Amino acid sequence: MSSRRNLSNLFDLADSDSNYEDSERGSNDDETGVVRSSHNEEEETKEGDSQVGGTLTNDPNITTPGDNLADYTALDSDGDGEGDSIYSDDDDLDWATLDADDAAPDLHFDPQLLTAVGGVDAVASGTIRKQVLDDMAVNGWTVPRIQTPWPYMDEPYEVRPDEWLGKDYPGIYDGPNGPTASALQAASTPLGAFLRFVTPQLLAKIGRESDTYFTENLDARVEAQHAKQQARKLKRPDFQVQAPEQIKTKLQKTLKISGRELCCFIGLLIARTFAPNREKFAHHWKNTDEGAIPRGGFGNFMKRDRFDHISRNLHFSSNGDDRAVTDRAWKLRPVIDVLQDTFQRSFTPPPVMAFDEAMLS
């Protein structure tokens, strides 16, 4: 088994690299020809706790005093809206007869298909009968009988001149673009790329918020542990039940969560994906092998109880903060702010850039 890896030097290096001075960033970017506007240089400041919640002033998740909170929902799954129709109640869903002078609209669905599936409402709500979908899977799509002509598609394609962008959008940035020098340097190693986005300052922030959450729920956990010990004594009369004061004193001695521990915590979760255990997660800490299944590897990096403590208390922001009411993404706000800042200072976009959800999946 390989020896335990010491991340102290790499962690300290990433910690120091995250505290950029404006002049240092400018010199690093100039080496690769990346030019930044003075406006962006003024916005780039050292990362810290004061930056959390204030990085983006136009974040759509943050409500303003004039907004009605009842009109919004907190950060959650959007599954409740899956059944909503894309049509308004006033839309006329019947097939209309067009005048001769009117242009033919784009027909999205064949009338026979709509009859088979139960109408436009069934298509919009996603409740299409299974036999219709099974038939499409076997027989494929039918050949369209009606096609809307688009005259411009019959015209020859004309290549636009290179200077069209500057004429249509005067003042648009057309200088060097791409990853900055500091981003390329960080991406030279997998760990460097990871700490570029999951910064030591962010890990330290998560550790402090997790400790706060643990302290806020200490009394409730003391009661839960005491009740569990009493239940255990009913099964094992020789078991000694601790007084609530003893349990609380022991829990208060729990060490604070550090950024390095969180780095190891994430690393173990990644290791879990490479060496999955089909049994309990806790079996990764077993000391003996079972057949061809290796045991005990996780214990070289973190004790099982410590891993369990972090996973139970992992929090990114305080639930008691006033901003939790007005910021619908407050639970992830520190992570969002750091990622937004890192993306902005790691890449200079070109004048034209297109992307969709397929690139993010």
pLDDT digits (tens, 9 = 90+) for 211-243: 999 999 999 999 999 999 999 999 998 999 999
Supply the DSSP symbol for 71: G
Please report whether residue 50 resides in a domain: no
Q: How far apart are CA 74 and CA 224, in angstroms?
A: 30
Distance in angstroms between the alpha carbons of the first and the last residue of the chain: 36
pLDDT value at residue 245? 93
pTM greater than the 0.75 cutoff = no
Q: What is the mean pLDDT of each run of 10 residues along the chain (361 residues)?
A: 56 60 44 38 39 53 71 50 40 47 54 79 77 83 69 80 85 90 93 92 94 93 93 91 92 94 93 77 81 76 93 91 88 93 93 77 57
Please report whether residue 67 resides in a domain: no
* Structural domain boundaries enclosing 273: 8-25+179-360
118 and 129 in contact (C-beta within 8 Å)?
A: yes
Token pair, residue 154, equals: 């019959």
Using DSSP's 3-state secondary structure scheme, residue 359 falls into helix
Same domain, 254 and 347: yes
264 and 271 in contact (C-beta within 8 Å)?
A: no
Sequence-separated contacts (24+) of 106-111 with Cβ below 8 Å: 106/148, 107/146, 107/148, 110/142, 110/144, 110/145, 110/146
Same domain, 118 and 243: no
244-252 and 218-235 helices cross at what angle (nearest 10)? Answer: 130
127 and 121 in contact (C-beta within 8 Å)?
A: no
pLDDT value at residue 49? 43
Same domain, 140 and 209: no
pLDDT value at residue 288? 78
Please report whether residue 2 resides in a domain: no
pLDDT value at residue 210? 95
- Split into its structural domains, the chain has a count of 2
Q: How far apart are CA 299 and CA 301, in angstroms?
A: 5
Please report whether residue 223 resides in a domain: yes
